[in-house]
Amino acid sequence: MPSFQRSEGLTMTIDFDDDVGFEGSTMLCHATVDGRRVVCRAGMDIVTELDARAVQSGKPIGKEAVAKNLRPYFARKIENNSFDDEDRSSVTLAIHELVSFMQGH
């Protein structure tokens, strides 16, 4: 159960479900954030990129492993309050954000 620290000093608990699904070309997984369910979305471009890197390294992975690898990036969006809407019910990870996060920006 990962626990993350907010900048204002409050603890935020983010728990990810193991279930992974697809809605069209978007991968969906879920997190529970302080008791609220949040939908975490990633486009097929991200899934394809991570899968291609895994194949190149000789370690092919499935959709569950891709979702687990994306958890820190989803958590960062949640920590930064980068929700898709005002009701804070979803976050969507874009490929440019993934690259930026990986480069430490």
Residues in the chain where the model's pLDDT stays below 70? 1-10, 60, 101-105
Q: What is the CATH number of the domain that holds 15?
A: 3.30.160
CB distance 51 to 42 below 8 Å? no
Q: Quote the DSSP letter at residue 84.
A: S
pLDDT, position 8: 54
Report residue 59: phi and psi, to 5°.
Answer: -130, 75
State how many domains the chain has: 1
Which range marks the domain in which residue 43 is found? 3-102
Q: What is the pLDDT of residue 4?
A: 46
Residue 75 and residue 48: Cα distance in Å, rounded?
21
| Closest alpha carbon to 44 in 66, 26, 69 | 26
Q: How far apart are CA 25 and CA 19, in angstroms?
A: 17
For residue 14, the model assigns a pLDDT of 94
- pLDDT for the residue 17: 92
